[in-house]
Amino acid sequence: MAQHDTNRRLAGEAVGSFFLFAGVIGSGVMAEALAGGNVAVALLGNTIATGAILYVLIAMLGPVSGAHFNPAVTFAFALRREIGWRIGALYVLVQLTAGALGAWAAHLMFDLPILQFSTKARAGIGQWTGELVATLGLVLTILALLRVRPQAIPAAVALYITSAYWFTSSTSFANPAITVVRSLSDTFAGIAPGDVPMFIGAQLIGAVLAVLLAGWLFRADPAD
């Protein structure tokens, strides 16, 4: 990543966030329309599309920006001093802005009102715990594989999110930016704006725990 200047790194984050967020929102709309009221089938369609686009985007843009597309990941790298706080803040701004454009593009593609707010309630200790667990696992996957097998990250992250859609009560948002953007879409993937802060709080706690756990698990032992 060092060979790319800041503008190209930010552009990489913008492109990835645009397509990832469009993929999550758009596949949710398509899945719900085709599922005939079967929520499990709709979630499966949403899951497969999200996992697939994640693999493509991380494999394509990882060498440019690191393929964060997620403020929780950027926050984790900043805590580890592997990205500066200033560039990290720019990453988050780009993730939010390009992600919102991706959601609006999905609305336009499916002939929906471009500007809207979700009415889907997602609250309670179960959902907040789901977000903490989902984010902890996601960030730990990235930090662990960076140390032992970086070439596996695109597939591992895609598979982790595909799985976490189903084993977490919240369907694994695991991303503060996409949580905000999904509040701007009254579709299958939406979340009511009032439920966003607790989701983000749980996600950030999960990211901190992942940094601490990865630092302990992969710390080099002193020579005997």
pLDDT tens digits in sequence order for the chain, 224 residues long: 445 799 999 999 999 999 999 999 999 999 999 999 999 999 999 999 999 999 999 999 999 999 999 999 999 999 999 999 999 999 999 999 999 999 999 999 999 999 999 999 999 999 999 999 999 999 999 999 998 999 999 999 999 999 999 999 999 999 999 999 999 999 999 999 999 999 999 999 999 999 999 999 988 666 54
Tokens matching residue 136: 């902890």
Report the distance separating Cα 112 and Cα 40, nearest Å: 23
Whole-model pTM?
0.94
Q: State the maximum Cα–Cα separation within the chain, in Å, rounded to a whole number.
A: 66
Contact 209, 167 (CB under 8 A): no
Scan for tokens 């500007």, then name that residue.
115
Contacts of 26 (CB under 8 A, 6+ apart): 49, 105, 106, 109, 110
Q: Under CATH, what is the fold of the domain 6-217?
A: Glycerol uptake facilitator protein (1.20.1080)
